[in-house]
Amino acid sequence: MGRAAFGDEFLNEAAQTRGHGGSGVKKTAGCIVFEGAGAEGLSPLTRARAVYEIRVGPETILERLERLLQIRATGLCVRPALATATATRDPRPINPRVRAGDRVINAGWRPDGRVALPRDAHAAYCDGELAHARLDDRAASEFNKIIAEGRAEALMHAVAHLPRIEAGGRMTRHAWDMIASLKNDLTEGMSSGRRRPPARSRRGVTIVKPARAHVAADCAFQGPCTLDATDGPILIERGVRIGAYAVIEGPAYIGRDTRINPHAWLHGANAVGPVCKLGGEIDGCLFEGFSNKQHAGFLGHSWIGSWVNLGAGTTNSDLKNTYGTVRVRRGGDEIDTGQMFFGALIADHVKTGIGTLLPTGAVLDFAAVAAIGGLLPSYVPPFSWLTGDGVRAGDPQKLLDVARKMMSRRGIEMSEADATVFLRVAGEGAARR
């Protein structure tokens, strides 16, 4: 995202902020996005990725914050265990030291719209958690200590002496919060930013509401299909291939180099990251990217991580027969989502076999393998190997080899930093068993 994408307010402020009110504001104020205490509540999404890397509609949490706050993050604060791996994905400083005058912004904070951040030192709260702050010398010193120690839950102590204000918006505490807001996130995210030309007519392609459908010039339609933007915009990125008789209903975002198979039906708001292969019926789902659900079967109101492969006929339930709210089990805890529609959390590197059935609110944790058809348990622990003989602990090194092979098939080599994170998650999973 380039500098021109932001207004002049932040850039001007950075050049003019020395000595305001004795608060220690320096000439070039930094803007640091940090993981708050809620990172654990977003597991398994956050096992191997920072909170700010999670996709929300057509953009990541970080990109959304930058757009709505009209800022450019100059540094990123993450859990120490992820610092090396995240540095391979973003060139900005990871866990930098902050100074007086710097802004710090919680990646879990969801502003309702564009927000003008106060210039003076302050601490803004949302739902009882620090949303953003502008630091003085004392707060910067405390913040640096807490980040170095990996104690995100203590960050509010660093700014307790600063003038307190309400931030508005809300905090994202669970994965299902993002599924519940997916339709709004898609519509807002695709309606903002640069203007795109409406989809041009193509032979055999039916486009309903073409002014709201935007298709990259090199997108290949391989037969008759339908794009219906009646209920929301559609954005299809470069390199996408769409098979014959596929139907895509808006709002929908299809990331670069994704393949939509013949007869696929995407409806009810879907966000698809790059390099996915999709087929069957998909309703209200969020794919991080580099994942496959190629075959027939229903997948609804679910979050799907990266490097996932769902076998033929994999199907989930996203609605209880009682029409009650869906409960989700994570480890030993069971949590009421408050949502009538919620399907599954399918973490990074998960694999399912043919004919796999997922109960309402299922959680398939990091690198779990379901090598059996039929109904799965509501929770499958990380690095589990599920067969007809029951659940056993998978071999982390063998599962790492499988992950490397899947990535190499996409022309990507797993970094040593990511391999270290992969095995660390395995160790954490073993400790919880």
Supply the CATH number for residue 11's domain: 3.90.550
Q: What is the C-alpha separation between 9 and 325, in angstroms, rounded?
A: 44
On whether the CB atoms of residues 356 and 313 are closer than 8 A, the answer is: yes
Residues in the chain, overall count:
433
Give the chain's end-to-end CA distance (angstroms, integer): 42
Residues 105-116 have a mean pLDDT of 95
In a domain? residue 312: yes
Residue 27 is predicted with a pLDDT of: 47
By residue range, what is the domain housing residue 208?
194-432
In a domain? residue 146: yes
Structure tokens at 340: 């009538």
CATH number at residue 304: 2.160.10.10
Residue 193 is predicted with a pLDDT of: 64
On whether the CB atoms of residues 140 and 92 are closer than 8 A, the answer is: no
Residue 194 is predicted with a pLDDT of: 64
Q: Are residues 15 and 77 in the same domain?
A: yes
More confident residue, 37 or 124: 124
Residue 342 CB-half CA count within 13 A = 26
In a domain? residue 182: no
Residues 260-264 have a mean pLDDT of 99
| pLDDT(17) > 50 | no
pLDDT band at 269 (very low <50, low <70, confident <90, very high): very high
| pLDDT(104) > 90 | yes
In a domain? residue 90: yes
pLDDT in tens, 187-244: 999 987 666 777 888 889 999 999 999 999 999 999 999 999 999 999 999 999 999 9
Q: Are residues 146 and 236 in the same domain?
A: no
Q: Are residues 309 and 378 in the same domain?
A: yes
Residue 277 CB-half CA count within 13 A = 11
Q: What percent of the chain has pLDDT over 70?
A: 92
Q: Are residues 123 and 209 in the same domain?
A: no
The helix/strand count (H/E) of the chain reads as 9, 40
pLDDT in tens, 135-156: 999 999 999 999 888 888 888 9
Residues with Cβ within 8 Å of 270's Cβ and at least 6 positions away in sequence, in order, are 182, 186, 252, 253, 282, 283, 284, 285, 286, 287
In a domain? residue 404: yes
Number of domains composing the chain:
2
In a domain? residue 180: no
Q: The tokens 């690095």 sit on which residue?
A: 383
- Which parts of 162-302 are beta strand (E)? 164-166, 170-171, 205-208, 213-215, 220-222, 225-228, 234-236, 241-243, 247-249, 252-254, 259-260, 265-267, 270-272, 277-278, 281-283, 286-289, 292-293, 298-300
Q: Are residues 66 and 158 in the same domain?
A: yes
Q: Are residues 206 and 142 in the same domain?
A: no
Q: Are residues 229 and 316 in the same domain?
A: yes
pLDDT band at 300 (very low <50, low <70, confident <90, very high): very high
In a domain? residue 189: no
Q: Which helix (H) or strand (E) holds 333?
A: strand 333-336
Domain boundary (120, 141, 173) is at 173
In a domain? residue 137: yes
- Report the predicted TM-score, pTM, of the whole model to 2 decimal places: 0.91
More confident residue, 389 or 102: 102
Q: What percent of the chain has pLDDT over 90?
A: 82
Domain boundary (173, 203, 220) is at 173
Mean pLDDT score of the chain, rounded to an integer? 91
Q: Are residues 374 and 281 in the same domain?
A: yes
Q: Are residues 57 and 17 in the same domain?
A: yes
Residue 388 is predicted with a pLDDT of: 85
Domain boundary (173, 208, 240) is at 173
Angle between the N-to-C axes of helices 416-432 and 396-408, in degrees from 0 to 180, rounded to the nearest 10: 140
Q: Are residues 148 and 208 in the same domain?
A: no
- Exposed, middle or buried, 92 (CB in 10 Å: 0-12/13-18/19+)? middle
Q: Are residues 252 and 162 in the same domain?
A: no
Q: Are residues 103 and 208 in the same domain?
A: no
